[in-house]
Amino acid sequence: MGYTYFALETLAEGQDTALNEAEAFPKLETGYYTREQNFSNLIRLAKQLDFRFVAYENTDPDKDREEGEAENLYRGTFAADPSAKVFVFAGGSHIMERPMEMERNGWQQFLRNDTA
């Protein structure tokens, strides 16, 4: 289908560069979710399919997380390759067009109490 970039929020800083090396494979320091065996297998499969990895997590504390991630995605893909086709692996709360409806199960209340 022409996708060449695999964008992963979970990758630690600089780990996309490391994974893009020829004989690289996911390690414990690659990222938080990559420590889980099935997620690491997903990365191995993407590597076999010749995807180029892009880390896009926002690490700038002065920037809105979503905006920072969007900027990082752009810089890592379309800025250098305007015709890029990008597969973005993201969590549900990042891809929803409006806040997830978790109020019914008390999740929002938990978050409010946890950050207080």
Burial (Cβ within 10 Å: 0-12, 13-18, ≥19) of residue 101: exposed
Run of H or E including 54: strand 52-55
Question: Rounded to the nearest 10 degrees, how much is the dihedral formed by the CA atoms of 109, 114, 34, 38?
Answer: -40
Q: Kindly report the pTM of this predicted structure.
A: 0.76
Range 34-72 burial, b when 16+ CB lie within 10 A, else e:
beeeebbebbeebbeeebbbbbbbbeeeeeeeeebbebb
34-73 pLDDT per residue, tens:
889 999 999 999 999 999 999 999 889 999 988 999 999 9
Residues forming beta bridges with residue 6, ordered by sequence position: 53, 87
pLDDT at residue 49, as a whole number: 95
pLDDT at residue 98, as a whole number: 65
Mean per-residue pLDDT, 14-34: 88
Q: Percent of the chain, pLDDT > 70?
A: 80
Tokens (6 digits) for 75: 């810089």
